[in-house]
Amino acid sequence: MEYFVQQLINGITLGSIYGLIAIGYTMVYGIIGMINFAHGDIFMVGAFIALISFLTLVAIGLTAIPVALFIVLLIAMGLTALYGWTVERLAYRPLRHSFRLAPLISAIGMSIILQNYVQVAQSARVKPLPPLIEGTHVIIESDVFSVELSNIQIIVVLTTLALMIVFSWIVGKTRLGRDMRACEQDLKMASLLGVNIDRTISLTFVIGAALASVAGIMYLLYYGVIDFFIGFVAGVKAFTAAVLGGIGSLPGAMLGGLLIGLIETFWSAYFSIEYKDVAAFSILIVVLIFLPTGILGRPEVEKV
């Protein structure tokens, strides 16, 4: 029982990171109906920006960890949001009215460019970061196995929960949220009613990239190592999470992220770790057979 609870904690932590990345996929798809395959690499860029920012702050003498991490968070969100805006302007806006495969191919090209850009700029070697947030709390103690909850796990889960609450408020209560919902229903009609479509779509990419940068920081703090390829792996998992939960649904993206994290963690704990990805994708296939739109997805209504 203790081992199960420990893996449950680990799975929720990993799933929270996947969920933050998955929100970016589901936001873009919900508004313009396209998959931003460069989003996983935006997450990777955010992690590298956070690492470089932190090392720079330490080099200039700022050693107070909470203050440094707060500054790193602001820098990473700002610069990564700029990358997200650039992807939208270069890979999506010029091709918005082209055939549907054109933006998809362009996004894959942007993904490859970002991967190689970081590989050339930072080399292919793994970049480590010493543990910054230490300390654990024993939840269940026994002679055989003790369940521990680390401070970094608490921070990851609470940060994800706080961002979900803030973002749900933005979508549900603000002018930007109303514009986003209008664009999701009908881009042309939203434009006729005075919604600035270009600005709304750009801000959607910006917000998604900012959330991905937070996920990158959480990943860096939790695992302590990053490389130029983490964006591809995490991006595929997050995209799977978005599809599993129901692409286009924000709660579905977070639910899918948690499920993928739990499936990977429990499979690695009780079975072979080499097949954890196979398990996650197998569950996705089974769910989509019975729920083609995902767990919380809504059937697409064709407009005539």
- Out of 108-117, 138-147, 195-204, least confident range: 138-147
List pLDDT tens digits, range 8-46.
999 999 999 999 999 888 888 877 777 888 899 999 999
- At residue 43, the pLDDT reads 94
Confidence of residue 192 (pLDDT cuts 50, 70, 90): confident
Q: What DSSP character marks residue 127?
A: E
| Residue 240 confidence class, pLDDT cut points 50, 70, 90 | confident
- The answer to which of 219-233, 247-261, 282-296 has the lowest mean pLDDT is 282-296
Residue 139 DSSP SS3: strand
Model pLDDT for residues 56-112, shown as the tens digit of each residue: 999 998 888 889 999 999 999 999 999 999 988 888 888 877 777 788 888 889 999
Strands 225-226 and 127-128: what pairing?
A: antiparallel
pLDDT 10s digits, 43-57: 999 999 999 999 999
Per-residue confidence band for 210, with pLDDT thresholds at 50, 70 and 90: very high
Q: What percent of the chain has pLDDT over 90?
A: 35
Distance CA 299, CA 292 (A): 9
3-state SS assignment for residue 168: helix
Residue 274 Cα distances to 14, 15, 198, 265, angstroms: 17, 19, 44, 12
Instruction: State residue 299's pLDDT score.
Output: 63
Grade residue 157 by pLDDT with cuts at 50, 70 and 90: very high
- pLDDT surpassing 70 at residue 300: no
What pLDDT is attached to residue 181? 84
Residue 143 has a pLDDT of 72
Q: What count of other Cβ atoms lies within 10 Å of the Cβ of residue 257?
A: 30
Spatial CB neighbours of 208, under 8 Å, sequence gap ≥ 6: 23, 24, 25, 27, 28, 36, 39, 42, 84
DSSP, collapsed to helix, strand or coil, labels residue 133 as coil
pLDDT value of residue 298: 67
Nearest to 226, CA basis, from 116, 88, 123, 84: 123
Average pLDDT, the chain: 87
- The predicted pLDDT at position 242 comes to 87
- What are the structure tokens assigned to 119, written together? 């590989």
Sorted by sequence, the CB contacts under 8 Å of residue 131 that are 6+ apart come out as: 224
The backbone region for 215, taken as left when phi is positive above 0, alpha when psi lies in -120 to 50, beta otherwise, is alpha
Q: pLDDT tens digits, residue range 123-142?
A: 889 999 888 888 888 888 77
pLDDT at 303: 52
In the chain the domains, ranked by start, together with CATH numbers, are: 2-290 (1.10.3470)
Provide the pLDDT for residue 46. Answer: 94
Per-residue model confidence (pLDDT) at position 41? 93
